[in-house]
């Protein structure tokens, strides 16, 4: 029945979505001002949502032009639907204009169709259709629209500073059936504080080392500059053998006594470093065979002792696992060393609920002092978790099952979704198991079937949670 209801609105849904997709709502700090906190595009997309909402008889509430909400329903409790209308830049290689949507017999192609304008319109129509059926709402509905999800989440940060936190909510910005847990995500640096004096003249001096640029990626490239005082050919031969032994690509060049070594690895997302190949840690592993100057030797030793071949925090004494959220993971995303300042490791640590983050950091800080290092703690986002047996999650999943027949269980991830902005929220759609995931890629599209099925699922879920319950 919900499917037929949604079909009556098919043309309107597509028209409203096309309008939203036509706005190039990419963050642009060069054009930012008080009126356009993250640039004119995102603000225009936010205004567009207010315009269609007001056309349909809803009231809206703007929060400093960076976020806002569409209001429906009635009751004490607020059910939140957290969406975003900003998009990542189009990038190259599209077959059509990314901001001039192409509608074919079965799909709509444009930047933002999946992330997150399609799901935003689907969720909006679920509310609109129920409202036009004159249902007896038992909860208030806030469709919260952000404009900075793709960058810094300034939108939700500003919004929840002053606005009411929903009792329950969904973020239609990921996948079905539902993501009910997300690991804590933190970044810390291990910084080398002490320069060590060399008593004997070292055979090799590490002048510079560099690997990786992003904490959430496994680095696929590393280079080291080593001053070699003797046995240059032996070192190069050993390095060639090392590459073969470890099944790595790489190479070396020599320039006035300085040997430059390069290793290629395999880049993967930092939430699962065990499936990548960390070029930096492998190159340090090779350097650990050389009799380096003492400061460099300490730096290399640190990697061998705490980081190399340890993706789950085990060497750092941080191994932890829960059945519902899995393992601690540690990605060594950025590694830098120079012979003036010493070195540092930038580490992206992800952890399940129950892991004692502060305690682990304090203990490790104490431990590494002995080697002349200290920890600098960066951003720490705590884990986000809603029990999958909570009736709220169960009702969402039931709506998904009724529409699709698919029995997949809700799951948890190591990444972060927009849902973690809500006290009690889960990511709910709008990607299906068979959807091609072109988020942030060229030729992003949503099928009409996906758009309409998602709308039906949101409709049924809202009905059971906010009209019946
Ligand atoms: Zn998104």
Measured CA to CA in angstroms, residue 249 lies from 210, 287, 309 at distances of: 17, 16, 18
Distance 84 CA to ligand 1 centre (A): 7
> Please, which residues bridge with residue 87 across strands?
26
pLDDT band at 416 (very low <50, low <70, confident <90, very high): confident
Indicate the average pLDDT of the chain: 95
Which has the higher per-residue pLDDT, 415 or 170? 170
| Backbone torsions φ then ψ of 79, nearest 5 degrees | -100, 125
What CA–CA distance (Å, rounded) separates 422 from 386?
11
Three-state secondary structure of 62-77: EECCCEEEEEEECCCC
pLDDT of residue 340: 92
Number of Cβ within a 10 Å radius of residue 251: 14
Of 428, 432, 418, nearest to 384 (Cα)? 418
> Please, which residues bridge with residue 209 across strands?
224, 337
Q: Which of 16, 24, 115, 149 is catalytic?
A: 149
- 149 annotated active-site: yes
Distance 106 CA to ligand 1 centre (A): 23
Distance 116 CA to ligand 1 centre (A): 5
pLDDT band at 428 (very low <50, low <70, confident <90, very high): very high
What pLDDT, in 10s, does the model give residues 11-66? 999 999 999 999 999 999 999 999 999 999 999 999 999 999 999 999 999 999 99
Q: Is the pLDDT of residue 378 over 80?
A: yes
What CA–CA distance (Å, rounded) separates 35 from 44?
11
pLDDT of residue 52: 98
What CA–CA distance (Å, rounded) separates 399 from 385?
21
Q: Is the pLDDT of residue 287 over 90?
A: yes
pLDDT of residue 197: 83
Q: Per the structure block, which two tokens stand in for 173?
A: 């910005």
pLDDT of residue 358: 96
Q: Is the pLDDT of residue 318 over 90?
A: yes
pLDDT of residue 131: 97
Q: Residues lining ligand 1 (ion), CB within 5 A?
A: 115-116, 173
Distance 59 CA to ligand 1 centre (A): 25
Measured CA to CA in angstroms, residue 349 lies from 133, 268, 332, 413 at distances of: 48, 15, 9, 14
pLDDT of residue 75: 96
For residue 333, how far is the Cα from the chain centroid?
Answer: 15
pLDDT of residue 433: 87
Distance 175 CA to ligand 1 centre (A): 11
Distance 409 CA to ligand 1 centre (A): 22
Distance 227 CA to ligand 1 centre (A): 47
Which has the higher per-residue pLDDT, 439 or 162? 162
For the chain, the structural domain boundaries read: 2-182+384-468, 185-381
What pLDDT, in 10s, does the model give residues 63-96? 999 999 999 999 999 999 999 999 999 988 999 9
The H or E element spanning position 237 is: helix 232-245
Determine whether 239 is exposed, middle or buried from the number of CB atoms within 10 Å of its CB (0-12, 13-18, 19+): buried
Across 347-360, average pLDDT: 96
Of 413, 417, 216, nearest to 331 (Cα)? 216
Q: Per the structure block, which two tokens stand in for 319?
A: 């191994």
- 221 annotated active-site: no
Across 324-342, average pLDDT: 95
For residue 42, how far is the Cα from the chain centroid?
Answer: 20
Measured CA to CA in angstroms, residue 45 lies from 61, 84, 145, 193, 323 at distances of: 15, 9, 10, 48, 41
> Rg of the chain's alpha carbons, rounded to an integer?
26
Give the position of tokens 């939140």: 80
Distance 118 CA to ligand 1 centre (A): 10
Contact call for residues 115 and 40 (beta carbons, < 8 A): no
- Pairing of β 204-211 and β 329-338: antiparallel
**Helix 40-55 and helix 10-21: axis angle, to 10°?**
160
Q: Does domain 185-381 have CATH number 3.30.565.10?
A: no
pLDDT of residue 200: 82
pLDDT of residue 149: 94
Lowest mean pLDDT among 128-132, 199-203, 269-273: 199-203
> Any idea how long the chain is?
469
Q: Just give the CATH number of 2-182+384-468.
A: 3.40.630.10
Q: Is the pLDDT of residue 126 over 80?
A: yes
Distance 38 CA to ligand 1 centre (A): 16
Across 107-118, average pLDDT: 96
Q: Per the structure block, which two tokens stand in for 243?
A: 């590459």
Contact call for residues 151 and 143 (beta carbons, < 8 A): no
Q: Is the pLDDT of residue 176 over 90?
A: yes
> Please, which residues bridge with residue 330 across strands?
349
Which has the higher per-residue pLDDT, 196 or 273? 273
Q: Is the pLDDT of residue 145 over 90?
A: yes
Q: Is the pLDDT of residue 342 over 90?
A: yes
Across 305-319, average pLDDT: 97
Strand residue runs (E) in 340-459: 342-351, 373-381, 384-385, 411-413, 425-427, 430-431, 445-447
pLDDT band at 441 (very low <50, low <70, confident <90, very high): confident
pLDDT of residue 303: 98
pLDDT of residue 415: 83
Distance 362 CA to ligand 1 centre (A): 34
Q: Is the pLDDT of residue 469 over 80?
A: no
Q: Which of 24, 86, 210, 293 is catalytic?
A: 86
Q: Is the pLDDT of residue 322 over 90?
A: yes
Sign of CA dihedral 13, 16, 21, 25: negative
pLDDT band at 198 (very low <50, low <70, confident <90, very high): confident
Distance 150 CA to ligand 1 centre (A): 7
Q: What is the torsion angle, in degrees rounded to the nearest 10, for the CA atoms of residue 427, residue 438, residue 9 and residue 399?
A: -30
Contacts of 418 (CB under 8 A, 6+ apart): 82, 84, 116, 146, 149, 153, 156, 171, 173, 174, 427
What pLDDT, in 10s, does the model give residues 223-232? 999 999 888 9
Measured CA to CA in angstroms, residue 201 lies from 197, 226, 297, 329, 423 at distances of: 10, 15, 13, 39, 59
Q: Is the pLDDT of residue 167 over 90?
A: yes
**Helix 294-302 and helix 279-287: axis angle, to 10°?**
130
């Amino acid at each position: 029945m919900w499917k037929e209801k949604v079909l009556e609105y098919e043309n309107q849904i597509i028209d409203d979505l096309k309008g939203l997709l036509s706005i190039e709502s990419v963050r642009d700090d060069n054009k930012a001002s008080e009126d356009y906190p993250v640039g004119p595009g995102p603000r225009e997309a936010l205004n567009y949502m207010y315009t269609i909402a007001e056309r349909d008889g809803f009231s809206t509430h703007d929060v400093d032009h960076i976020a806002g909400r569409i209001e429906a329903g009635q009751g004490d409790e607020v059910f939140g639907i957290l969406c975003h209308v900003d998009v990542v830049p189009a990038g190259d290689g599209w077959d059509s204009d990314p901001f001039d949507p192409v509608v074919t017999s079965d799909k709509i192609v444009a930047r933002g169709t999946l992330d997150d304008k399609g799901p935003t319109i689907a969720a909006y129509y679920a509310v609109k259709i129920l409202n036009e059926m004159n249902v007896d709402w038992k909860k208030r509905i806030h469709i919260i629209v952000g404009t900075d999800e793709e960058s810094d989440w300034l939108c939700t940060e500003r919004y929840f500073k002053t606005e009411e936190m929903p009792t329950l909510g969904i973020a239609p910005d990921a996948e079905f059936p539902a993501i009910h847990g997300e690991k804590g995500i933190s970044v810390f640096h291990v910084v080398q504080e002490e320069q060590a004096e060399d008593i004997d003249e070292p055979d090799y001096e590490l002048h510079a080392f560099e690997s990786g640029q992003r904490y959430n990626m496994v680095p696929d490239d590393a280079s080291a500059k080593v001053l070699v005082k003797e046995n240059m050919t032996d070192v190069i031969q050993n390095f060639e053998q090392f590459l073969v032994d470890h099944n790595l690509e790489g190479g070396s060049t020599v320039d006035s006594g300085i040997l430059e070594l390069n290793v290629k690895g395999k880049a993967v997302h930092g939430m699962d470093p065990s499936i990548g190949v960390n070029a930096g840690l492998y190159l340090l592993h090779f350097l650990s065979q050389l009799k380096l100057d003492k400061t460099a030797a300490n730096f290399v030793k640190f990697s061998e002792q705490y980081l190399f071949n340890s993706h789950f925090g085990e060497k750092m004494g941080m191994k932890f696992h829960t059945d519902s959220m899995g393992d601690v993971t540690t990605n060594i995303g950025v590694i830098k060393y120079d012979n003036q300042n010493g070195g540092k490791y930038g580490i992206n640590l992800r952890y399940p609920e129950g892991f004692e983050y502060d305690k682990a950091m304090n203990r490790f800080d104490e431990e590494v002092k002995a080697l002349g290092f200290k920890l600098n703690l960066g951003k720490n986002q705590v884990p986000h978790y809603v029990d999958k047996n909570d009736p709220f999650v169960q009702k969402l999943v039931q709506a998904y099952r009724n529409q699709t027949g698919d029995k997949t269980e809700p799951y948890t991830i190591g990444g972060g979704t927009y849902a973690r902005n809500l006290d009690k929220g889960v990511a709910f759609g709008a990607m299906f198991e068979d959807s091609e995931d072109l988020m942030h890629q060229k030729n992003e599209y949503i099928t009409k079937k996906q758009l309409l099925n998602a709308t039906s699922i949101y409709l049924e879920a809202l009905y059971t949670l906010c009209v019946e319950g």
